[in-house]
Amino acid sequence: MKFFVDTADVSEIRKLNELGIVDGVTTNPTLIAKSGRPIREVLAEICDLVDGPVSGETVSTDAEGMVREGHWLREIADNLTVKVPLTVDGIKATKILSDEGIAVNVTLCFSSAQALLAAKAGATFISPFVGRLDDIGLEGMNLIQDIRLIYDNYGFDTEILTASARHVPHLLEAARLGSDVITAPPKVFWQLFEHPMTDKGLAAFLADWEKTGQKLG
C-alpha cells in the first residue's frame, strides 16, 4: 500500500521522506491556507521533494473552470495530480483532463455509487473520506470494502486512496481491505513506529551490551 502524506508543511514531508516511506502527498485549500504560502510556490517545492504524485486541488465549481485551473496546476510539475470534487462538473472535468493524459484525484467521495462514477470517467485516484463518515455515525471503512469489490468486479484501474484517515486503526484496516493508497496527517505515520515492547526490548539489549564493556567500530 502506498503512503501519501496529507499536509502542505514541507518540513514535515521532508522528515518522513528521509525515511523512505513517502509515496506521494495530498493537499487541499485548507492545508494550503494553513501553510501561509502561495500555492504555486509550496506545490512546486513539494513536487521537487517527492518523486510520487502530489495532489493540488482546483477551487472552481464549474467544469470549465476546473479544467482551466487543472492546466495551470499541471504546469507546476509533471508529478502534479489535479484534484477535483465529486460533483457533476467535477466528473465532467475528470473525463476531459484524463483524456488529455492528466492524472486526476477525485475527492470528497462518500458513497460507492460516487466512486463508480469517478472510475467510469477515468479518474487516477478516488478519495473516499472515511473519517468524516465516522463523524456522522457510519462505519467509514465499509465504504472502502464496497469500492474494492466493485472496482475488482470490473477491472477498473482507478486507485482507491483512503482519505480523512485519523489514526493507525484506519490505516491498518485500509491495508487489510486492499486500499491502494492511504493519505493521513504526518502524526499517523509517526505513530506506526510506536510500541512499548520495542522500547522495552531495546533498553534491555543495550543494558546487557553495556555490561560486556565492548564497542563496535
- Under the banding of pLDDT at 50, 70 and 90, the label for residue 33 is very high
CA distance 119 to 113: 10
- Supply the pLDDT for residue 35: 97
State the pLDDT at residue 37: 97
pLDDT tens by residue, 146-195: 999 999 999 999 999 999 999 999 999 999 999 999 999 999 999 999 99
What's the grid cell of residue 151?
Answer: 472496482
Is 24:2 a contact under the CB 8 Å cutoff? yes
The confidence score (pLDDT) of residue 158 equals 98
How many domains is the chain partitioned into structurally?
Answer: 1
- Measured CA distances, 114 to 28, 44, 107, 109, 172 (Å): 20, 30, 10, 6, 24
* Residue 120 appears among annotated catalytic residues: no
pLDDT at residue number 95 = 98
Question: How many angstroms separate the CA atoms of 35 and 30, rounded?
Answer: 9
For residue 217, is it within any domain?
no
- Identify the active-site residue in 2, 15, 34, 83: 83
Domain assignment present for residue 135? The answer is yes
For residue 17, give its domain range. Answer: 2-212
Residue 116 lies in a domain: yes
Q: What is the rounded CA–CA span in Å between residue 10 and residue 106? A: 23
CATH code where residue 193 lies: 3.20.20.70
pLDDT tens, residue by residue, 42-69: 999 999 999 999 999 999 999 999 999 9
pLDDT of residue 72: 98
55 assigned to some structural domain: yes
pLDDT in tens, 113-152: 999 999 999 999 999 999 999 999 999 999 999 999 999 9
pLDDT for position 40: 98
Three-state SS at 183: strand
Is 72 part of any domain? Answer: yes
What is the predicted pLDDT for the residue at 83?
98
Query: Could you tell me what percent of the chain has a pLDDT over 90?
Result: 100
Is 152 domain-assigned? Answer: yes
